[in-house]
Structure 1
Amino acid sequence: MFYTLLLLVVLLDQAAKLWVRYHMELGQSIEMWDGFQLTFFENSGAMASSFEGYGTYFVIPAVGIAIWAIYLYHKGMLNSLVLRCGAGIFVGGAIGNAIDRILRGKVTDFLDFGRGISNLADHAITLGMLLILIHGFIISPMRKRKSKRITV
């Protein structure tokens, strides 16, 4: 599941960005429905255009996180489905944006909900982190409580 989700996120993210770059002009918006549109934007920083011009520096932590997660996976330390899924989705998002930064020096953003423009990789990072936090703060403590009851 880890590698499947990682690869799926990278492929969907890169395919969507490629579609935007080939079918839209920079700055162009396409209204989808009320409150959501596709807007082609290139970001040389991080999410919400923070650290503008320093985006390539985010490649190093993205690669580090990917290597660390793969190591944890192979050591059996991603010990729940939620944790494996969260890590795979998170790493897929990090790699998706790292590919843009390496190949283009900037990230293609296009999802415009009216509060900033993002991409699928950004949302994968957020969803992956949410699943990792759910595991850490809900699932893991529940497992520990359950195993204490069994051993007592």
Structure 2
Amino acid sequence: MLFYIISILVVLTDQLTKYLIRTHIEINEEFSLWGWQLTHIENSGMAGGLFQGYARLFGVMAVLFVISVLYIRRTEEMKGTLIDSSFGFLVGGGIGNGIDRLLFGQVTDFIPRAGGVLNVADHAIEIGVLLLIIYVMFSWLKKAR
């Protein structure tokens, strides 16, 4: 159940924030929200603006990624709160960015950070990867005992 809750919350939060940015902030406009400097950009490539113009291809890759995670989740022995959380963030982020890529041919980004401008889905994927690394490390330590 935790997997579904996290996935749905990530998708809803991601899509709501992107909608608000697209409808109220001009492209390349910088603005401040509660002390955070944000910038609205549209990215038709992948992270860091690489491979511009291939958003729909990356959208298809996002669909395949989500299917892969769902398959692994059903077939592997990976169980527990940590892996459910990891997969929830990964799937929610993949769906969030996949929606943008497939529907709009680009992803709305607005959270500047070293290395580029990101969005909620990007951060969810990062959290999911971090939790997956922690899960793998704990599993490895458990087997080593």
TM value normalised by structure 1? 0.86
Matches within 5 A, 1:3-152: 3-32=4-33, 36-75=36-75, 77-113=77-113, 115-136=115-136, 138-146=137-145
Q: Using a 3 Å threshold, how does the CA distance of structure 1 residues 140 and 39 change in structure 2: closer, same or farther? A: same
What runs of 5+ residues in structure 1 fail to find an aligned partner?
Answer: 147-152
8 Å CA contact 1:37–1:113 kept in 2: the answer is: no
d(CA) in 2 for partners of 1:50, 1:29: 22
What runs of 5+ residues in structure 2 fail to find an aligned partner?
Answer: none
d(CA) in 2 for partners of 1:56, 1:101: 5
RMSD across aligned positions (CA):
1.7
| Structure of larger gyration radius | 1
How many equivalent pairs are there? 144
The alignment-based identity, stated in percent, is 40
Equivalent residue of 1:112, what SS?
strand
Equivalent residue of 2:110, what SS?
strand
8 Å CA contact 1:39–1:112 kept in 2: the answer is: yes
Q: Using a 3 Å threshold, how does the CA distance of structure 1 residues 64 and 77 change in structure 2: closer, same or farther? A: farther
TM value normalised by structure 2? 0.90
Aligned to 1:2: 3
